[in-house]
Amino acid sequence: MKRSLKLNPNNKPAAAAQIKAWRDKHEASPVATTLGSFDCDILSEKRMQDAVDEFHNLTTRNSDGTLNWVRGDNSVVALTQPELQSIITEAVKKRAVRSALLHVKAFMFKAQEVKPTPTQLADIDFWLN
């Protein structure tokens, strides 16, 4: 009986498509702000801005005038209009910096002779450090 050694595919060098896929996944991941971690992909940003713009017309506000918002970890926080606006401002800036770094790193990873492994690519800290 012939035995074959099967390598864990997560320990083999990543293909360019895997590098791009992980870059895109990390790019869409929640962004840490002073008020917690929030989703800040383009659609989430639009939802936040729409809520800020129409804050006083929203019938879903709490009795104290705050609006419940779901964080990136699915916990709920009650926010005022200025707090929600500050989250947008902070998250968009951080997303832009992170996105630029992710794209530069992806280019570097693809150009390296020895590519990182999918296990390494799954760790956002690997990308950002």
Distance in angstroms between the alpha carbons of the first and the last residue of the chain: 47
> Has residue 68 got a pLDDT over 60?
yes
Q: What is the pLDDT of residue 3?
A: 64
Mean pLDDT, rounded, of the chain = 92
Q: What is the pLDDT of residues 93-114, one digit of tens each?
A: 999 999 999 999 999 999 999 9
The whole model's pTM is what?
0.81
CA-to-CA dists, residue 33 to 38, 82, 84, 123, angstroms? 7, 14, 11, 20
Q: What is the pLDDT of residue 11?
A: 77
